[in-house]
Structure 1
């Protein structure tokens, strides 16, 4: 498994992932139309070129296939909101846990001290990924479970 920046050649894989009904059932903003997915893809590429970057979106590659996407968006101070989603045929195989663990490591290496995440209450897979990757459950509201991970300095 590889976590990497999106490349121009990933557009079709990115768009099909964002248009997928199975993936969209757990996301408030998915599935997207083709136009919306293409705009999001261009934004992901443009973010890579920004001198001061706010959003970090990564392709999760498994056996040369874009299996999903993980990323974070900087908030105020040194905190960020993060998220992840994967193609259905990669669910339940540990890919999400590995990818999110790498995402957390990347965010903390970039100076983020607090990562926030949430998942729909019925999205047991994402809830388990968050817990396995060190996120602490903060509570539940309006059908969503909220989490945070704190970067504790090593002693």
Structure 2
């Protein structure tokens, strides 16, 4: 079980639960084709973004396997919400989880995704006691693959045409890191 103490601070960011006041930021991000290009859904209109936000608002703790933690990513100096970070708890028995992140493209290339990923790995390993954390991505998303590599995750699988997404077969990459590997990197 994981009920984080909020806000979670990194060097430059604040990770916190989403609030209804985050709708403009969520819509600004989720409405962009370049954001949704490698995700399962198409760009969202404002109402769809509101519905997604309503779900995110409820994802503030991991009480059992099968749940997700969804955190707003805010620049500490400005208060601007630039994305979200996700931690999924897949299995209690296998102590397995997964991380994910989505950032507004106006903030790509600044190391924010790596900073978010590091915080999510800490939550998963130190907060939830996970043994193994994965990151899954569309194989064409080379920028996200580099983030996972910077976090010390190794590429374990390249699944060829394993999913039908947005009218085409897509390849998926799976990266992973074990708790002892994470601990030894720090």
> Matches of residues 28-47 of structure 1 in structure 2 within 5 Å?
28-47=40-59
**1:124 matched to which residue of 2?**
142
Q: Indicate whether 1:9 and 2:9 are aligned.
A: no
Separation (CA, whole Å) in 1 of partners of 2:100 and 2:106: 19
Distance 1:138 1:7, change over 3 A: same
After superposition, the C-alpha distances for 1:1-24 in whole angstroms (9 at most, x for unaligned) are 222221221122123212221111
The higher radius of gyration belongs to 2
Distance 1:22 1:51, change over 3 A: closer
Q: Indicate whether 1:148 and 2:138 are aligned.
A: no
- Report if aligned partners of 1:71, 1:83 keep a CA contact under 8 Å in 2: yes
Distance 1:152 1:51, change over 3 A: closer
Offset of 1:38 from its aligned partner?
Answer: 1.7
Separation (CA, whole Å) in 1 of partners of 2:42 and 2:179: 30
Q: TM-score, normalised by structure 2?
A: 0.74
5+ unaligned residues in a row in structure 1: which ranges? none
5+ unaligned residues in a row in structure 2: which ranges? 1-12, 162-170
**1:24 matched to which residue of 2?**
36
Moved over 6 A (4+): none
Separation (CA, whole Å) in 1 of partners of 2:154 and 2:110: 22
Q: Indicate whether 1:58 and 2:58 are aligned.
A: no
> Matches of residues 70-89 of structure 1 in structure 2 within 5 Å?
70-77=85-92, 78-89=95-106
Offset of 1:66 from its aligned partner?
Answer: 1.0
Q: CA RMSD in A?
A: 2.1
Q: Indicate whether 1:135 and 2:153 are aligned.
A: yes
**Higher mean C-alpha deviation, range 128-137 or range 113-122:** 113-122
The counterpart of 1:91, out of the listed 108, 120, 128, is 108
- Report if aligned partners of 1:116, 1:147 keep a CA contact under 8 Å in 2: yes
The counterpart of 2:84, out of the listed 44, 69, 91, is 69
Distance 1:35 1:144, change over 3 A: same
